[in-house]
Amino acid sequence: MALLGPEGVNQVARIMPVTQDLRQIFIEAPVAKELGLHDGQVVQAVVTLHQDQLKLAMHEHVFNLPLSPYIKEGDLAQLRAQMLPNGKWTLQLLHTGTYAGLQTSQAAQAALAAQTAQAAAQALGPSRFNALLVQPEGFSNWVNLLRPGILEALLPAGVASELKERVKAHRLTMANLQPSALRRFVLKHTKSSEASLAQAQDVQDDEKVLLRLLMTERHRMGAIEEGDTQDTLKHALDEVEAAQLQAVKDWRNGDLNLSFVIPFTDADPLEMQFEKKGDKPGQPKNPLVVNMHTKSRVLGEVWLKTSIGESANVNLTMWALRSDIAAQAKENASELTYELESAGLKLGSFQVYNAARPDAIQKREVPKHGVLIDTEV
């Protein structure tokens, strides 16, 4: 189980000098098992305010905060798990991400951020890695949450306005979509929050950070009675992390496979995937393939496959469940040719089908002997 905290991870900047024996949390073995703890593992928790007292929150578990100065609500705490001879466990506080202490140098901040990212990756553990690698492809839960207004409606009453603004800022606007905004969104998804953290970059708008923060806030505000909602949030997080882990695995094999969901304030979300097989010596270069899919309340369900080969040659294939949308696409083929030529591209072919995409449901092959993953990517 991933224990990467949801907020403040981009602000890991200071180290807190506190006496060791005042920095331990004692937990029972069943709780340690639920959290997936391993002896010596470094995990992360968020400092939250619970019943007017500061607590440490990890997923659905809330612990008393060890005696420590300078800690405040919203801080990210790192703790080391240790199994005791009697079978119980302790979580020893190492340091927090932000607090009113002395500033460190920029180099020290970057080093600490990298250490935090590596610890977060290690916190996944082999079982978490394996579970994510066999996670079914797609973003069914995440897509449903990203429909206009849905994620915002899950924010508990009384939550900080800053979080509301961060969720809102995560969305693009379809009616005024600019290439520069789309480019920034795509580039943002070329890195995981852990990789950005390792480079001391801002991750407060990262979707995994927002999801974890939303789950933590719902728990803190007592809005967890809706079990299905909390499960949907967890499954959405699994989908996002599984896609990122699969991207790392494919990258190690020389292939590009980048998948994510684009949310809009005024339209249904769009699933997007960039894929390119690695080129081999003496063989033609493989094309870059861009796959898109949406279940639009305006257009119905639509798939689009765009292959961009050498000499900027573009081949497009579109599938639409609604016959009127398929017919409209065929009628506008000449306009599409003009738009592509204006962008320096050449339309090689454009095929439209009034049907579902045949390979829309793909099954990921389950690794038989495990997979080697570079957790620092």
Give strand ranges (E) for the chain: 24-27, 42-50, 53-58, 61-64, 76-83, 89-96, 256-262, 270-276, 288-296, 300-308, 313-320, 346-353
**Angstrom distance (rounded) from CA 4 to CA 90:** 18
What's the pTM?
A: 0.63
The upper half-sphere exposure of residue 145, i.e. CA atoms within 13 Å in the direction of its Cβ, equals 29
Q: Are 24 and 52 in contact (CB under 8 A)?
A: no
Tens digit of pLDDT per residue, the chain (377 long)? 333 333 332 333 322 222 333 457 888 888 888 888 877 777 878 877 766 677 888 867 888 776 554 566 677 777 788 888 777 888 877 654 443 333 333 343 344 334 444 444 444 555 666 777 777 888 999 999 999 989 888 887 776 677 778 888 889 999 988 888 888 888 888 776 666 555 555 556 678 888 888 888 777 776 655 557 888 888 998 999 889 888 888 888 889 999 999 999 999 999 999 999 988 888 889 999 999 999 999 999 999 999 998 888 999 999 999 999 999 999 988 888 888 888 888 999 999 999 999 987 554 444 444 444 444 44
**Angstrom distance (rounded) from CA 36 to CA 46:** 17
- Fold annotation for 279-368: Transcription Regulator spoIIAA (3.30.750)
